[in-house]
Amino acid sequence: MLPKFNKSGNLPKGIHRARFDEIRDVFGSSSARRAWLIVQLAKIIELAKSMGKLERVILWGSFVSDKEFPGNLDLLLVMSADFDLGKLDLEVKRVFNYFEARIAFNADVFWTKSSIGYEVINMWLESYQMTRDFKPCGIVEVIIND
């Protein structure tokens, strides 16, 4: 269960795990902009999962805040060590190309393979738990295998 927003409009610092339906209910329904972005997020996750190599999805930024009109989606996809970008069809490849994902889904999609190690991934996740004005904030991990 996701915690309540703090007085700054952000989740408390930490990695908060939630199922997609809870994420949709909390972050994807309070404005037309949010409703559109949650559809884009669903498409990204569906495409990333289609290869059977998706291990983690992490969300941060304005979408996981209480802003009525978040600018975009910010997410990290962690793929299995044997993920092969060369074996993707064109539609799925758009998710893993930063510029194409930005245009197609209004999302800043970053991705890596789990083989870089959890120490490096955890450093990334720590940096995502800071707002642009250097205040601590929470991020959300989508529960993808349930």
pLDDT band at 146 (very low <50, low <70, confident <90, very high): low
Q: Looking at the domain assignment, is residue 51 inside a domain?
A: yes
DSSP string, 18-47: EEHHHHHHHHSSSSHHHHHHHHHHHHHHHH
Structure confidence by residue, pLDDT tens digits, 17-70: 999 999 999 999 999 999 999 999 999 999 999 999 999 999 999 999 999 999
pTM of the predicted model, to two decimals? 0.95
pLDDT at 1 over 90: no
Q: Looking at the domain assignment, is residue 4 inside a domain?
A: no
For residue 115, the model assigns a pLDDT of 97
Q: Looking at the domain assignment, is residue 41 inside a domain?
A: yes
Distance between CA 53 and CA 76 in Å, rounded? 14
SS3 at position 58: strand
Q: Looking at the domain assignment, is residue 95 inside a domain?
A: yes
Distance between CA 75 and CA 63 in Å, rounded? 10
Q: Which residue has the higher pLDDT, 37 or 133?
A: 37
Among left, alpha and beta (phi > 0; psi -120 to 50; other), residue 2 is beta
pLDDT at 134 over 70: yes
How many CB atoms within 10 Å of residue 68? 11
Q: Looking at the domain assignment, is residue 118 inside a domain?
A: yes
Q: Looking at the domain assignment, is residue 3 inside a domain?
A: no
Q: Looking at the domain assignment, is residue 2 inside a domain?
A: no
Total tally of structural domains belonging to the chain:
1
Give the structural domain span for 24.
Answer: 14-143
pLDDT at 139 over 70: yes
The span from the first CA to the last CA of the chain, in angstroms, equals 15
Structure confidence by residue, pLDDT tens digits, 73-112: 999 999 999 999 999 999 999 999 999 999 999 999 999 9
Q: Looking at the domain assignment, is residue 9 inside a domain?
A: no
